[in-house]
Amino acid sequence: MADLINYYSFSKDEWKKFYSDIELPLTEHELKHIKAFNDQISLQDVSDIYKPLVHMIRLQKDNFSEWQTKKARFLHKPVRNVPFIIGISGSVAVGKSTTARVLEDLLTNYFTGEHIQLITTDGFLYPNAELKKQGILDRKGFPESYDMKALINFLNSVKSGVPVIKTPVYSHQVYDIVPDQFEVINRPDVLIVEGINTLQLPQNQQIYISDFTDFSIYMDADPDLIEKWYLERFGKLMDTAFLDPDNYYHKYAIGDRNQAFDMAKDVWQRVDMPNLNENILPTRSRADMIMHKTVGHLIDRLYLRKY
């Protein structure tokens, strides 16, 4: 990534040294909690990578809140608590939702008294029935498969301080939007928005997701590794589907396992990899931070935007 002239580049060893003067209370309980939702996650990485990151986000958020207060005073408007929004982008299966959950946990733990919430932009995918109607079911994840207007309105409502906002829910197990199920976003201090499209600039839009984010992260890795992680996740989703006929992966779980993996490989090659190359990777250089992952999901390099 020699072309990234506007980024500082750090090895993990360099990055971890930036955390020194404040104590992040990463207790046994906290580490257990993280292990409970992903027992594969490296706790060394949580400490080396995320402690400095959380510290840096603290500095940025304080700066952001101070500016919001000054701006309100300048404009003779009431001072209010404007949510700080963090966007997390990257390929399907690169580990965005796992990173987002670790960050949610750590921010909740460290930003004492502040309300941290997390949503995924998957909730703004059109339901399968609508994708079918439009003839784009095999374009799930591509820009046209999202209800961008609803997503932008949602982000605008969050920033404007609307008290209770319901967002639709996407389930990987059902492989669709779950009807009548919502998540409630209620005046967070920090909202983490995770999704493949958080840095995209769709041509038919005038306002973008990134107009509402205050710090953005792009999760990066070699596409061959991401394919491997995609297939491993497919295997895990099959493993949990055996006893549940309503689960999208049930038909694969009870059938021939090799054939199921062949199908998943085909979906990766036809849908998710082209989407990575055409629509996701080109947005990498817009991120404030690029986290590069290697074998075993370990983070080996970080890039931080200089200006």
Ligand X SMILES: Nc1ncnc2c1ncn2[C@@H]1O[C@H](COP(=O)(O)OP(=O)(O)O)[C@@H](O)[C@H]1O
* Binding-site annotation, residues: 90-97
Of residues 220 and 272, the one with the C-beta less far from ligand PAZ: 272
CB of 80: closest distance to ligand PAZ in angstroms? 32
CB of 74: closest distance to ligand X in angstroms? 40
Q: What is the DSSP string of 193-226?
A: EE-TTTT---TT-SS-GGGT-SEEEEEE--HHHH
Residues 193-222 that bind ligand PAZ (CB under 6 A): 196
CB atoms within 10 A of CB 107: 24
CB 217 within 8 A of CB 288: yes
Of residues 72 and 235, the one with the C-beta less far from ligand X: 235
- Select from 30, 104, 122, 288 the one that contacts ligand PAZ (CB under 6 A): 122
CB of 256: closest distance to ligand PAZ in angstroms? 19
Identify what 251 binds: ligand X, ligand PAZ, none; CB under 5 to 8 Å per kind.
none
- Tell me the CA distances in angstroms from 285 to 206, 227, 272, 293, one per residue in order: 20, 22, 20, 16
Identify what 71 binds: ligand X, ligand PAZ, none; CB under 5 to 8 Å per kind.
none
Q: Is residue 225 part of the contact set for ligand PAZ (CB under 6 A)?
A: no
- What does the alpha-carbon distance between residue 221 and residue 212 come to, in Å, rounded to a whole number? 26
- Tell me the CA distances in angstroms from 267 to 11, 13, 146, 245, one per residue in order: 34, 37, 19, 22
Helix (H) / strand (E) element for 84: namely strand 84-90
Residues 79-118 that bind ligand PAZ (CB under 6 A): 92-93, 96-97
Q: Which of 88, 12, 46, 79 is nearest to 292 (CA)?
A: 12
Window contacting ligand PAZ (CB under 6 A); options: 49-57, 211-219, 249-257, 265-273? 265-273
- What does the alpha-carbon distance between residue 253 and residue 275 come to, in Å, rounded to a whole number? 26
- Select from 272, 280, 287, 291 the one that contacts ligand PAZ (CB under 6 A): 272
Of residues 72 and 273, the one with the C-beta less far from ligand PAZ: 273
Binding-site residue positions for ATP: 90-97
CB 146 within 8 A of CB 208: no
Identify what 35 binds: ligand PAZ, ligand X, none; CB under 5 to 8 Å per kind.
none
CB of 233: closest distance to ligand X in angstroms? 4
Phi/psi class of residue 209: alpha, beta or left (left: φ > 0; alpha: ψ in -120 to 50)? alpha
Of residues 229 and 249, the one with the C-beta less far from ligand X: 229
CB atoms within 10 A of CB 111: 17
Binding site residues, ligand X, CB under 6 A: 38, 40-41, 90, 92-98, 229, 232-233, 236, 297
Identify what 141 binds: ligand PAZ, ligand X, none; CB under 5 to 8 Å per kind.
ligand PAZ
CB 25 within 8 A of CB 111: no
Residues 123-162 that bind ligand PAZ (CB under 6 A): 140-141
What pairing do the DSSP bridges indicate for beta strands 84-90 and 215-220? parallel
CB 291 within 8 A of CB 48: no
Measured from each CB, the residue nearest to ligand PAZ is: 141
Q: Which residues bind ligand PAZ (CB under 6 A)?
A: 92-93, 96-97, 122, 140-141, 196, 267, 271-272
